[in-house]
Structure 1
Amino acid sequence: MASTSESIQSIARTQEERILLTQIAQKAETCREKCYLTYTKFLDMHETALADRLLRSLGERGVFWGGYEQAERRILFFVPDWMDAVPTEGEDCPITAIRCLRSKNDALTHRDYLGSLMGLGLRRDGIGDILVSDHGADILVLKDIAPYLLMNYSQAGRKHIQTQEISLADLVMPDEKITMLRDTVASMRLDAVTASLFRLSRAKAADAIRAGKVFVNQQECIRTDKEIAPHDRITLRGTGRGEVEEILGESKKGRIVLSLKRFG
């Protein structure tokens, strides 16, 4: 098994990634040697993929969780043997939620909420998913920044909001806008399906995959030839998410006919 430094050097492509992976390795070591719960801040999908590769390389065990089951931004927990599971409530849980209530006449987007949070001087890794719905938004945050938000967060996108802390059990999942698409592909390879789903050339889709920008079922995939199946979800970082709903058959030219969903 490779040493920690060797594993980090083989996985990281930038100095920022090396720093992140070093911090993760240190948290794993602290948990193992001192037998108490350790965890990171919120990781995005690319950082989660890097962390997962490091864990597998080192033979370490960790748990990714972001406050609810399908969270995209997640914290990596290292759980000591004496604990049964990641604490999802109570004092030991590092995640809480802030509910932002807006006027019914005001329209606010994910970008409005995120931009205003950054305007308060917060770091992105202190903030998890932002769940925008009819009432406003439920925002997952590290528990230690919640008091600051409750005191100072009163405006998003130039609109007034009211904030309150809520239980993770009370999170409201947004109703996603779905656009149905129908297209044909030469094969069920990831590059072909990604190109169809996001209206790209196959070459650009392949470049995005090799650059680590494409995720299948929340797992980073850099294989352009990965076989995609119905109900697989594909995320193109910075662009959006979609799903293969169904294979409808073959066209007269022998191409595969797909029913696709685009979210958002």
Structure 2
Amino acid sequence: MSIYQHFRPEERDFIDQVMNWKDHVENTFVAKVTDFLDPREQQIVKTIIGTQADVKVEMFGGMPGAERQRALIYPEYHQVDLEDYEICLFEVDYPSKFVTLEHPQVLGSLMSLGLKRGKFGDILLEQDRVQFFAAKEVSDYIMLQLDSIGRASISLREMPLSDVINVYIQWNETSTTVSSLRLDTVLSAIHNISRQKSQLYINQGLVKVNWTTIENNAFECGEGDILSARGFGRAKIISIEGRTKKDKLRIIVGKQI
């Protein structure tokens, strides 16, 4: 049985990468830390590595409950330490009396440095404070290159992880049933709207799965997916619990509070 059949066709390259990571750890007995992964990628890594006896995996994103996390794939006997994840926390100093910084601006400026999204973790905003996590291997480069966000001149301070601002993403968990994992079906169940309305949102390009706009009503959702529909906020599929007596799928979903 092919491992690929459990996942989406477009995830094949990532699955190959995870298999290579697993083989590397098995053959070298050296732990491997990945880039920051989104929740769906985390789910894939856990699914593939989780069945192994000699190789283990744990996740950490710089703080409890981080959305984007680095995976540490390691030999069974390895003692995991937070240092293994090689995560830096930066605080942005900027003229907050005159400028308001928002998440898209911060992410856009980070991406303009020419680094992959996987080199950055969560971006945290609380009142006039802005922090973000980054991979340690690019921290010096970020410190040298990032001097503005939007039109604001900024400077960076590296902070201990213990000084992270207290921004926890809270999810209100509920259980629901769906006839299938089609995107239109799942969306209508989560937000209690008609299937016709959910199809309209999807067809108009107002729905994203894992930060990618999906315009296919029949797109199949899976565990770990983050769904966002304009005007409804974000939701995630926490787990798929199996079928009911009426042959419907029971899913546990979280809606961001």
- Post-superposition offset of 1:201: 3.1
Match of 1:14 among 9, 14, 17: 9
| Equivalent position of 1:226 in the other structure | 250
Say what the alpha-carbon RMSD is for the aligned residues.
3.6
SS in 2 for 1:40: strand
Q: CA separation of 1:200/1:124 partners in 2, compared to 1, >3 Å: closer, same or farther?
A: farther
Mapped contact 1:63–1:78 kept (Cα < 8 A): yes
| Equivalent position of 1:251 in the other structure | none
Mapped contact 1:49–1:220 kept (Cα < 8 A): no
| Equivalent position of 1:183 in the other structure | none
| Equivalent position of 1:81 in the other structure | 76
Distance in 2 of aligned mates of 1:14 and 1:175: 33
- Post-superposition offset of 1:24: 1.4
Distance in 1 of aligned mates of 2:33 and 2:125: 26
Mapped contact 1:210–1:222 kept (Cα < 8 A): no
Mapped contact 1:101–1:135 kept (Cα < 8 A): no
Deviations 1:57-90, CA, capped at 9 Å, x for gaps = 65653112211110111111112233222x213x
Give, as a single letter, the amino acid of the residue that structure 1 aligns with 2:133.
L
| Equivalent position of 1:141 in the other structure | 134
Q: CA separation of 1:208/1:142 partners in 2, compared to 1, >3 Å: closer, same or farther?
A: farther
Give, as a single letter, the amino acid of the residue that structure 1 aligns with 2:33.
Y
Tell me, yes or no, if structure 1 residue 68 matches structure 2 residue 63. Answer: yes
SS in 2 for 1:165: strand
Distance in 2 of aligned mates of 1:73 and 1:125: 9
- Larger deviation: 60-69 or 138-147? 60-69
Q: CA separation of 1:175/1:158 partners in 2, compared to 1, >3 Å: closer, same or farther?
A: farther
- Larger deviation: 53-62 or 213-222? 213-222
Mapped contact 2:91–2:158 kept (Cα < 8 A): yes
- Post-superposition offset of 1:173: 2.4
SS in 2 for 1:69: coil
| Equivalent position of 1:123 in the other structure | 116
Give, as a single letter, the amino acid of the residue that structure 1 aligns with 2:138.
I
Mapped contact 1:214–1:222 kept (Cα < 8 A): no
Q: CA separation of 1:83/1:172 partners in 2, compared to 1, >3 Å: closer, same or farther?
A: same
TM-score by length of 2: 0.70
| Equivalent position of 2:31 in the other structure | 37
Mapped contact 2:65–2:169 kept (Cα < 8 A): no
Distance in 2 of aligned mates of 1:222 and 1:170: 37
The aligned runs of 1:1-264 (5 Å cut-off) are: 6-7=2-3, 9-15=4-10, 17-56=11-50, 61-85=56-80, 87-89=81-83, 92-105=84-97, 106-174=99-167, 188-189=176-177, 195=188, 198=191, 200-202=193-195, 204=198, 207=217, 210-212=220-222, 213-214=225-226, 219=238, 221=240, 225-228=249-252, 233-234=254-255, 242=256, 263=257
Mapped contact 1:45–1:220 kept (Cα < 8 A): no
Give, as a single letter, the amino acid of the residue that structure 2 aligns with 1:110.
H
- Larger deviation: 42-51 or 108-117? 42-51
- Post-superposition offset of 1:136: 2.9
Give, as a single letter, the amino acid of the residue that structure 2 aligns with 1:127.
F
Distance in 1 of aligned mates of 2:239 and 2:188: 17
Mapped contact 1:98–1:163 kept (Cα < 8 A): yes
Distance in 2 of aligned mates of 1:102 and 1:145: 21
- Post-superposition offset of 1:147: 0.5
SS in 1 for 2:67: coil
- Post-superposition offset of 1:123: 0.8
What is the total number of aligned residue pairs between the two structures?
Answer: 218
